Amino acid sequence: MNKFLVVIFLMSLGMVKAQDNPLLKDFNTPHETAPFNTIENEHFLPAFKEAIKQGETEIEKIRSNKETPTFENTVVAMDKAGRLLSRTAGVFFNLLSSETNDELQKIAQEVSPMLTKFQNDIYLDPVLFERVKRVYSQIDKHQLTPEEKTLIENSYVEFVRKGANLSEKDKEKFREISTEISKLTLEFGENVLKETNAYELLITEKDKLSGLPEGTLEAAAGKAKAKGKEGWLFDITMPSYLPFMKYGDNRELRRKLYIAYGSKSFKGNEFDNQDNVKRIVELRIEMAKLLGYDNYAEYVLERRMAMSPEGVYKLLDDLYDASHKVALEEKAEVEAFAKQNGFEGELMPWDWSYYSEKLKVEKFDLNDEMLKPYFKLENVVDGVFGLSTELFGITFRENKDIQVYNEEVTAYEVFDADGKFLSVLYTDFHPRAGKRGGAWMNDFKGQWKTDGVDSRPHITIVMNFTRPTETKPALLTFSEVETFMHEFGHALHGMLANSTYSSLSGTNVYRDFVELPSQIMENWAVEKEFLDRFAKHYKTGENIPDELVNKIVASQNYLAGYLSIRQLSFGYLDMAWHTLEKPYKGNVKKFEEKSWERTQIFPSIDEVCMSTQFGHLFAGGYAAGYYGYKWAEVLDADAFSVFKEKGLFNKEVAQSFRENILEKGGTEHPMVLYKRFRGQEPTVDALLERSGLK
């Protein structure tokens, strides 16, 4: 019997005391951060069980209160309930994404239905709902702050949207549906990660690697060496995959890697997600109909800025009309360039990055390899931190006494301009087997205020950036710099949170608003005044030449039409799945092709499928919400135009953005907050102008 099973067995016999579990003790650490050095996998399941038990006790106290329901004894009490559970889940689910293993994944499968049951027990309880409903009915009879009013409204609406008005029979059905969804979305994500980790391409003949930059070859040789192999090892994580697609002269190997990347969980093997996609969609339809909606998108969008499927399609269609013709012109230009350079036949998806990158070099004399020496990771960190200091007055200090979950993670204390502690920030930059792909921000602990004490957040940003090699530090591509700034924008939203109630704090906002703080930060990446501050050659220390900065700016809108159409294709696919009104029993690939047909400018490849690896939709929180990236682009372009007009580092504008957007979280409707900052509703004009599509 392994260590994990032994501990669980002993816990069941009462031979291991709860007091011995670090997750159930006070965190006697700097800022009460998670004590990762003492947390073992076997601590999680007992901790979840005890935390749920405590949460149930706290909820029962609210439920059985004989006093007349009030804002404080019902709505506020519910916002405060379950904090031990939130803390436990914050640690566990962040590790599940960043540092997972088979044991954690097994625990997740057991814990997920427990958490779903805990939530359902609250929202399907008629006594609790009646208390909330009574407070809600009195909302206009009391003098409330906007935040208090929002908390009451959200509490009532959440009960309704999670089944409180259903019959007892339908409540049971709701329980079954939500429990199965929670299991399947976990399985979906695990399958994609396992498929990613399973693929390797070992190349032993150097002539097959022509075109690849020295740094890429060194990294691939390092990967092979680390696994006791001779040659160059490539995989389908971004730092390995993207350079090969951009620079590898061997077309057949590009095709091979493209299909490996695009066919994740679409091979009919044990990690296949085709049935999971159809079943998750079917369950979402059932849930929506149970709650009185025609489809899942209607249900989701009721609580979004877009408000309805019609609102989403209007945005997508307007941007499609502005982008499609440009995308076709861009494709024709790349095709003509490829033929001039000896290419014969039809341009395929695995040719696009290769030839479009060569055309970019010809047009702008610019590529990643020219820029990377100026984007040493440590310098980029200094630059991004420095930007937030200039804009918002906040500073960062590494604290090695704060425990981390992996030796590659760095923990910082974040302070306001007056020296007041604001947040803990964890940074985690490089890919590894236990980390899912992509980049994200999350919190180990949110922010709230209780009894006059402002409990500050613990924020994490996680990326999959190019690793250092034996001879070079980590040198980022320009795209990786933009990704860092994007996730750091999310982090600012979390770190600067200044709400009273945890459920309204930080990034707890409408999904199509949450990308505004992240996407606006990307705008500075192409500004010369900003780049001059940190972009220094890693060997010579020389500032990035003005000539290179000018080339970055000049190339900013290169392939703007193609990139817009590509993003719109994902939005159309998302809406197609989630506007279905009856289960889909057919072929996932065929459904996908039909859904985004008008956005596709390359021939379809039989072996690849986006839906089976589309974690945003089927393992994350963007179902019926992927359009939010384009929605937020409208907002961020419009908002950044104020900085462009009044100064990139204008403290007055920055303070207004901080006070009206970053600090406010979800305390008021996002359009109210946005108009308070901007003075008007956004228009698409700034986005179309910025991207050269107007």
d(CA 574, CA 588): 13
Strands 410-415 and 453-455: unpaired
**Which residues lie below 8 Å from residue 169, measured CB to CB, with a gap of 6+?**
none
Question: Taking a C-beta distance cutoff of 8 angstroms, is the pair 258, 199 a contact?
Answer: no
Beta bridge partners of 397: 413
Token digits for 354?
């290769």
Residue of 99, 195, 480, 487 marked catalytic: 487
Residue 666's alpha-carbon distances to 149, 154, 167, 499, 500, in angstroms, are 12, 10, 31, 9, 11
Burial, 167: exposed, middle or buried (Cβ in 10 Å; 0-12, 13-18, 19+)?
exposed
d(CA 83, CA 77): 11
Give the single-character DSSP code of 68: P
Closest Cα partner for 275 from 595, 25, 584, 512? 584
Give the single-character DSSP code of 69: P
d(CA 134, CA 539): 67
Burial, 173: exposed, middle or buried (Cβ in 10 Å; 0-12, 13-18, 19+)?
middle
d(CA 189, CA 186): 5
Strands 410-415 and 421-428: antiparallel
- CA 476, 616, 196: angle at the middle one, nearest 5? 60
Closest Cα partner for 437 from 562, 307, 657, 261? 261
What are the DSSP E strand ranges found in 318-438?
Answer: 395-398, 410-415, 421-428
Q: What is the CA radius of gyration of the chain?
A: 26
d(CA 232, CA 218): 8
d(CA 102, CA 433): 12
H or E stretch including 113? helix 102-123
Helix, coil or strand: residue 591: helix
**Which residues lie below 8 Å from residue 187, measured CB to CB, with a gap of 6+?**
109, 276
**The amino acid at 155:** S
Token digits for 132?
């909330």
**Which residues lie below 8 Å from residue 70, measured CB to CB, with a gap of 6+?**
135
Question: Taking a C-beta distance cutoff of 8 angstroms, is the pair 258, 484 a contact?
Answer: no
Query: Residue 332: how many CB atoms within 10 A of its CB?
Result: 12
Give the single-character DSSP code of 543: B
Residue 475's alpha-carbon distances to 216, 326, 380, 635, in angstroms, are 11, 32, 9, 31
Question: Taking a C-beta distance cutoff of 8 angstroms, is the pair 202, 229 a contact?
Answer: yes
**Which residues lie below 8 Å from residue 376, measured CB to CB, with a gap of 6+?**
473, 474, 475, 476, 536, 538
- State the alpha helices, DSSP H only, in 461-559: 478-495, 516-522, 528-531, 546-554
* Residue 335 annotated as catalytic: no
What is the set of active-site residues?
487
